[in-house]
């Protein structure tokens, strides 16, 4: 789930319950939280007026890429744009992730696996 909270929301209910994978971004106008659906269900009564989107599925890219590399996410985005799947990218220091709607998860995985196979095959020739 992706939840948009008011900028002054108290996170005491959510923070202790967040697990793998979660993300909290604090901006001047709101707090955005990516969290598991069951965690949101337990805490949602504490956050009246929250904006909620989802369900989404997480796809992680378990590769180490230097932070100066350009175009890495553009290739991923292009593959999924080509099949009409929108993404929500999330980057951390070590890894990159995308969220895709649950309805498009299988199509996205198939397209990405096909793309990776093409890239591997091209390197072998």
pLDDT in tens, the chain (125 residues): 999 999 999 999 999 999 888 999 999 999 999 999 999 999 999 999 999 999 999 999 888 788 888 888 899 999 999 999 999 999 888 889 999 999 999 999 999 999 989 988 888 87
Looking at residue 103, its pLDDT comes to 97
Widest pairwise Cα distance in the chain = 57
Looking at residue 60, its pLDDT comes to 92
Looking at residue 20, its pLDDT comes to 87
Query: Please, which residues have CB within 8 angstroms of residue 50's CB and are 6 or more apart in sequence?
Result: 3, 4, 5, 6, 9, 44
Distance CA 75, CA 32 (A): 26
Looking at residue 120, its pLDDT comes to 84
């Amino acid at each position: 789930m992706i939840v948009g909270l008011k900028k002054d929301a108290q996170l005491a209910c959510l923070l202790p319950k967040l697990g793998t994978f979660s993300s909290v971004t604090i901006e001047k106008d709101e707090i955005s939280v990516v969290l598991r659906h069951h965690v949101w269900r337990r805490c949602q009564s504490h956050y009246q007026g929250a904006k909620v989107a989802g369900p989404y599925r997480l796809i992680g890219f378990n590769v180490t890429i230097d932070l100066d590399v350009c175009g890495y996410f553009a290739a991923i985005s292009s593959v999924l744009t080509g099949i009409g799947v929108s993404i929500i990218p999330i980057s951390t220091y070590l890894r990159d992730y995308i969220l895709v709607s649950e309805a498009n998860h299988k199509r996205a995985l198939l397209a990405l696996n096909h793309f990776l196979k093409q890239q591997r095959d091209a390197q072998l020739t």
